[in-house]
A and B are shown apart, each in its own frame.
Chain A
Amino acid sequence: MEFQIINKLQGIFRLFFRDNEIVLSNQTTAQDIDKWDSLIHLELISVIEHEFNLTFSLDEILTIKNVGELIQIIIHKQV
């Protein structure tokens, strides 16, 4: 399940940042992707919410530290 989610997220990220070289891992953070800043973070989160059909709370958005944590929240919400 984790593998499928990370693959889907990678597709979303590549399309969103218009960069086909992005490779996601559990440890990937905003620091690793050049254009991933706070200004577009919520826009990216909205796209992820739409693609996975779920909603993140503000607290969840504030506490996500890396892609691994994002995946765990998605898994938790999909169960």
Chain B
Amino acid sequence: MDLTSINYLGFITLTFLFYRFLPLNAKPYLLIFSSFIFIGTYSIESLVFFLFQHVLIHFTVKKISTTESASIRKRMFKLGIVFIIAFIFSLKYIEIKFNNTSSFNTNKLIFFLGISFYSLQNISYLIDVYYGRVKRLSFLDFTLFSSFFSKFIAGPITIIQTFKITYIEKNNTYLIQQGINRIAWGLFKKIVIAERIAPVIAFNFELKNPTLGLTNLVLAYLFTIQLYFDFSGYSDIAIGTAKLFGIDLSENFKLSLRAKSISEFWRRWHISLSNWLTNYIFYPISYKYRKKKYWGTIIAIVITFLVSGLWHGVYLTFIIYALLHSVYLIVGLFIQKPTNRFKNRIFSIFSIFFTFNLVSISFIFFRSISIEQAFSKVKCIFSQHFFSNNLLFDFTQYIAMGGEQENVFNLYVSLFLISLVLLFEDRLQRIFNAKKMNVIHLTLILLTIIFFGVFDKSKNFIYTQF
């Protein structure tokens, strides 16, 4: 059940209606029951694997928090961590072996749905209980925290400290209004924008391999925009749905494409994963090596990004993507202080554009189906064949054909509208993050989704494969 499908809207409406009328003590059971149905509709294997890891982690944590022997606690802790990591990598290995041979394939069987996301949550839960940062949860609370359906497929990755549930009083509807606003905004981002770009990208990465530098650069830009609207739209729907049930999930994207540096980009992009990696990988390593000054930070950056790359998949393309971001950050570390003095508007615009280019180049590795394809695309961008003699034809044919646009005019209208949304994104976001529903705004966005949405392609969400 995809978060942008009619089935999902029906599913949350039904769950919501039951939720409103059930007594307080029955509400968590309903949410857990709905979450199990939700996971089960993808595949029974997902539910079985989830329950297997879930029960095992619950009893490991119980042993850690009840035993007084430090050596047993340590042994159980290590066992739990090794188990989860082995679990992630063995399932990813099975997926590579039986499902496909290329790194980027959104049509993979969603066999082990959400595994990477709830596994990271379980690792942080184990670490936090072991170091006494949080108390062990009851089996009921842990199950609700772990399985809650809107965040199950693709986050936001939640740590226990930020998972807050407020049972809404019947006369208090502002959370519900805010939830509906966010869901509408998420649907718009995913169905109207990301899905419009998706065929262009799929056509030019999977069927054709354009050789013009400009085309490849624009494709890299478009993929960055697609991934951003796809993933942030999905997060909006997840956060909005949670609000309907009084659950506060942490934000996952904050106007990410307006970052002025790569380090700022990682504070705005997939924030829940960045925070997780910072707290559980980067800080412990850089703390350990901090006497080595810059070298300590460099070691920590490289290891953190390698972990992030491997988490996305055991492919060379993801490793290169991770190493590229490590290099960006390390270089940024040395030029950050000298550039602090430039604070004018022109420098800010230049920084945003430059960062966007760096990110887009890195995403070529993220999206390519092989390392050879990625390098050939990057090589085209930096070659002398950046422009062609027949620019209009050579440039537009790949993008317009891939986008299934009726004509070139239609293509430019689409690109213009996407640019407008990017330009006024902060204002639009403010409107659809409001605590009160505005009927006119909501009607307008729903009409836009109905008339300009791409519905038949919306079954694939890029991040389900991780």
Q: Which residues of A contact B (CB under 8 A)?
A: 17-19, 35, 37-43, 46, 58-59, 61-63
Contact = CB atoms under 8 A, between A and B. Distances in A.
A12 B411 CA distance: 53
Given A18-B341, A39-B263, 12 more contacts: A18-B337, A35-B336, A38-B278, A39-B332, A40-B336, A42-B287, A46-B290, A58-B283, A59-B131, A61-B283, A61-B287, A62-B283
B286 A42 contact: yes
A27 B271 CA distance: 22
A47 B282 CA distance: 19
Given A18-B340, A18-B341, A46-B290, A63 B133 contact: yes
B258 to A, nearest CB: 13
Nearest to B341: A18
30 contacts: A18-B340, A18-B341, A19-B340, A35-B340, A37-B263, A37-B267, A38-B263, A38-B278, A39-B263, A39-B297, A39-B329, A39-B332, A39-B333, A40-B333, A40-B336, A41-B283, A42-B283, A42-B287, A42-B296, A43-B293, A43-B297, A46-B290, A58-B283, A58-B287, A59-B131, A59-B133, A61-B283, A61-B287, A62-B133, A63-B133
Nearest to B278: A38
B253 to A, nearest CB: 15
Contacts of B278: 38
Contacts of A18: 337, 340-341
A17 B340 contact: yes
Contacts, number: 44
A40 B329 CA distance: 11
B32 interface: no
Interface of B is mostly: helix
Nearest to A57: B287
Contacts of A37: 263-264, 267
A26 to B, nearest CB: 21
Interface in B251-296: 263-264, 267, 278-279, 282-284, 286-287, 290, 293, 296
Given A59-B131, A61-B283, A42 B290 contact: yes
A17 B333 CA distance: 13
Contacts of B284: 58
Nearest to A16: B337
Contacts of A42: 283, 286-287, 290, 296-297
Nearest to B260: A34
B301 A39 contact: yes
Contacts of B336: 35, 40
